[in-house]
């Protein structure tokens, strides 16, 4: 697209104009203007060959300044619209970011009477079918030569869930400003005006889709035990034909390259058509997923010999590269076998622990013992105190303070602690949090759920979205001292958490999760793989954040997090930790993410006679105490005062001392009376 405005064109020497027209195609021919994953793949410059031919180009070129003189007035304003379309057009399939990294537009206006200023500007960035608009207010410049461009940094893009930019889709920038006074506007180019989108993933789908053409009617002829490279583009059917010789086991290893979850193919069960034309029975399936790929092993036993057709099918709007190969073998321990699973998938507790285990402090809940003893002692001393005392100083100087200390430390404080340890109506326990998280993942893994919804919920921390409030009651077993004086809490429920047990329990609650051939449905497989990864990361983050500033007094803790959006980490396949507690700053959260995220995560599922799950990972070696945020809103159940036991014992001592002293005074008085009046006196 070009630009539209009125007035005379700025004088340009014809030779320079001719050179710009001739050199611009040469300058950009060796550089693709694709929004791609390279370091400069999302950087585009506003360039103009001449005033009415403007583009977004990968290099700064063309005219240095375009300008025009207008004769506008408040009664007859002049609207100027400049449009810059990316050239060359988009060639790769790209995943758009949620934020515009930066934009600079150096637009100036010099009025005949008002001097240098920046007019009101509307900037619209058009990506495919989405439009994001920003508005800038007018601003007076100190002088006409002052450079004060319009700038944007880390601005949210209005993508409406459409994060995919397909080849040849529109990328356009539109500038619109209205002038209501006479003067000259100038747009400075040649590197002065640009925009930058940080593209997290892109792919040249034409270069990767090397398996075409093929179909059910025209399968490619191949040798079974060779490596095949290709990509499944939208709803294509990729088919091969090969000869199967004598064997006991037939294995097909299909490895899908990691792509954004928005464009993942469904990974449905492939078709293996026998020489008779019949579809082979459902195989054993083992799925192993990590950050780089998803590897699926299909295993059949004792199939007939002859010519076979193997087909995999795609889904509209999806794209994913793959590699597959076949293997004929005999019964034995294959490269992937159900026997490789140990049958239990525990959460690897202790991974995020940094404290000194040798200096651990055991924590317990407050009991009723101190409260009961304090209550009995108080009743006894109050009854004793009702008797007349011969010493006002003893009664009010010793006995009364003792009763107060005993009341506060032995009764009111324990009652307050017991009340603070009780779970409130708005709080949940760790088991409830895990159950809610799995139910959330189950719901969003259904076919037909918008991919952006899936990404948002899967990537959220503990399943908490922006604006949610997490109130959690935790029972802690021990506290370990940290080098910086803080204490790390040990949650016993994480020590023996069975990930596989929790995940398959959710599958059982869903009901009807197998096909007619006894295989798990694709939605169930997708859920199991997502849940294994997400639950591990959720518990890892929870374990890392169990840090308090002071030595706890009780084993009961209350977590109260107001969750807000945060930059996600992890792979483009499954983003992680995209929400954070509001008390933790963005910088601290990003630092924690980078240090804590595992080097590798692997989730394996055996869809065989006994469904088995294996979750493993390689922890990050760089996580240390400096990565743990300072402001974590975790509160220990507390009472009215510190050192309550000592206060209660001190009060008990004062009361005992006062009572004992008063008793001795009474005994002395009684003995003295007996001496004077005898045993029959009224003092008895």
- HSE, CB side, 13 Å, CA atoms: give it for residue 246: 0
The DSSP element (H or E) to which 300 belongs, if any, is strand 293-301
pLDDT at 66: 93
Q: Which of 153, 152, 183, 160 is nearest to 80 (CA)?
A: 183
Residues 6 or more apart whose CB falls under 8 angstroms from that of 60 comprise 45, 47, 189, 190, 191, 194
Torsion angle defined by CA atoms of residues 102, 107, 113 and 115, in that order, rounded to the nearest 10 degrees: 60
What is the model's pLDDT at position 86?
A: 93
155-165 average pLDDT score: 87
| CB within 8 Å of 626: residues ≥ 6 apart | none
Q: Which residue has the higher pLDDT, 259 or 523?
A: 259
pTM over cut 0.85:
no
The predicted pLDDT at position 9 comes to 40
pLDDT given for residue 633 in this prediction: 84
The model's confidence at residue 651, banded by pLDDT at 50, 70 and 90, is low
Q: What is the pLDDT of residue 58?
A: 92
What residues does each domain of the chain span?
3-201, 206-340, 366-420+640-677, 428-636
Q: What is the percent of the chain with per-residue pLDDT over 90, rounded to a whole number?
A: 36
Per-residue pLDDT band for 336 (boundaries 50, 70, 90) equals: very low
Cβ–Cβ under 8 Å, residues 139 and 118: yes
Q: Work out the pLDDT band at 414, boundaries 50, 70, 90.
A: low
For 444-453, how does the pLDDT look when each residue is reduced to its tens digit (9 = 90+)? 888 778 888 8
Could you read off the pLDDT of 307-334 as tens digits, one per residue? 999 999 998 889 999 999 999 987 654 4
Percent of the chain whose pLDDT exceeds 70? 75
pLDDT at residue 333, as a whole number: 44
pLDDT (tens digit per residue) in 389-407: 555 555 555 556 656 665 6
Ranked by mean pLDDT, the top range of 12-16, 301-305, 460-464 is 460-464
Q: What is the pLDDT of residue 21?
A: 44
Q: Say yes or no to pLDDT of 37 above 70.
A: yes
678: pLDDT strictly greater than 80: no
Question: Angle at which helices 400-407 and 644-677 pack, to 10 degrees?
Answer: 150
Q: What is the CATH number of domain 3-201?
A: 2.60.120
The model's confidence at residue 278, banded by pLDDT at 50, 70 and 90, is very high
pLDDT of residue 54 exceeding 90 = yes
HEC sequence for 557-606: EEEEEEEEECCCEECCCCEECCEEECCCCHHHHHHHHHHHCCCEEEEEEE
Q: What is the rounded CA–CA span in Å between residue 298 and residue 284?
A: 6
Closest to 587 in 3D by CA, of 631, 633, 538, 539:
631
Q: Is the pLDDT of residue 580 over 70?
A: yes
Q: Tell me what pLDDT residue 266 has.
A: 86
What is the third-level CATH fold of 206-340? Answer: Jelly Rolls (2.60.120)
What pLDDT does residue 395 have? 56
């Amino acid at each position: 697209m070009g630009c539209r405005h009125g007035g005379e064109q700025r004088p340009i020497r014809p030779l320079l104009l001719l050179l710009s027209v001739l050199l611009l195609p040469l300058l950009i021919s060796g550089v693709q203007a694709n929004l791609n994953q390279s370091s400069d793949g999302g950087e585009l410059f506003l360039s103009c060959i001449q005033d009415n031919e403007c583009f977004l180009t990968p290099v700064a070129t063309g005219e240095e300044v375009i300008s025009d003189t207008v004769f506008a007035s408040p009664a007859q304003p002049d609207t100027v619209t400049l449009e810059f379309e990316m050239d060359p057009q988009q060639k790769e399939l790209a995943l758009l970011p949620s934020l515009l990294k930066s934009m600079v537009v150096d637009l100036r206006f010099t009025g005949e009477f008002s001097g240098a200023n920046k007019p009101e500007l509307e900037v619209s960035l058009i990506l495919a079918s989405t439009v994001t608009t920003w508005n800038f207010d007018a601003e007076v410049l100190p002088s006409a030569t002052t450079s004060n461009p319009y700038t944007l940094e880390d601005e949210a893009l209005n993508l409406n869930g459409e994060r995919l930019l397909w080849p040849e889709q529109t990328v356009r920038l539109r500038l619109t400003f209205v002038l209501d006074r006479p003067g000259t506007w100038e747009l400075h180019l040649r590197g002065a005006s640009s925009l930058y989108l940080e593209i997290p993933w892109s792919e040249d789908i034409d270069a990767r889709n090397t398996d075409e053409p093929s179909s059910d009617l025209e399968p490619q002829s191949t040798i079974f035990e060779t490596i095949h490279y290709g990509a499944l583009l939208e709803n294509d059917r990729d088919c091969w034909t090969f000869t199967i010789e004598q064997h006991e086991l037939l294995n097909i290893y299909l490895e899908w390259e990691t792509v954004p979850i928005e464009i993942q193919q469904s990974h449905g069960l492939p078709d293996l058509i026998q020489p008779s034309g019949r579809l082979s029975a459902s195989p054993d399936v083992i799925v192993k997923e990590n950050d780089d790929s998803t590897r699926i092993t299909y295993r059949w036993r004792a199939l007939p010999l002859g010519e076979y057709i193997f087909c995999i099918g795609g889904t509209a709007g999806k794209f994913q590269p793959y590699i597959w190969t076949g293997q004929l073998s005999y019964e034995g321990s294959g490269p992937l076998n159900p026997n490789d699973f140990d049958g239990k998938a525990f959460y690897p507790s202790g991974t995020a622990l940094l404290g000194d285990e040798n200096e651990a402090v055991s924590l317990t809940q407050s009991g009723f013992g101190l409260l009961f003893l304090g209550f009995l002692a108080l009743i006894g001393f109050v009854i004793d105190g009702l008797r007349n005392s011969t010493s006002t100083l003893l009664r009010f100087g010793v006995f009364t303070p003792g009763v107060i200390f005993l009341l506060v430390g032995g009764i009111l404080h324990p009652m307050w602690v017991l009340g603070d340890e009780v779970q409130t109506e708005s709080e949940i326990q760790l088991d409830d949090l895990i159950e809610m998280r799995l139910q959330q993942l189950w719901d969003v893994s259904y076919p037909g759920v918008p991919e952006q919804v899936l990404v948002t919920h899967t990537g959220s921390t503990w399943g908490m979205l922006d604006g949610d409030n997490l109130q959690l009651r935790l029972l802690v077993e021990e506290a370990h001292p940290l080098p910086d004086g803080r204490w790390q809490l040990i949650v016993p429920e994480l020590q023996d958490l069975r990930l596989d047990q929790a995940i398959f329990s959710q599958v059982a609650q869903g009901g009807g999760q197998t096909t007619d051939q006894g295989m798990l449905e694709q939605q169930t497989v997708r859920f199991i793989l997502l849940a294994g990864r997400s639950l591990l990361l959720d518990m890892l983050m929870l374990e890392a954040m169990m840090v308090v500033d002071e030595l706890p007094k009780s084993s009961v803790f209350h977590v109260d997090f107001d969750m807000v959006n945060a930059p996600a980490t992890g792979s483009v396949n499954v983003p992680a930790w995209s929400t954070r507690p509001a008390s933790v700053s963005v910088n601290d959260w990003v630092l924690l993410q980078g240090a804590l995220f595992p080097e590798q995560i692997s989730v394996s599922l055996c869809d065989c006679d006994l469904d088995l799950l294996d979750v493993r990972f390689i922890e990050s070696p760089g996580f240390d105490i400096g990565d743990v945020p300072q402001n974590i809103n975790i509160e220990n159940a507390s009472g009215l005062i510190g050192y309550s036991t000592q206060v209660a014992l001190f009060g008990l001592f004062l009361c005992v001392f006062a009572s004992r002293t008063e008793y001795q005074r009474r005994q002395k008085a009684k003995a003295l009376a007996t001496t004077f009046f005898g045993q029959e006196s009224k003092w008895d």
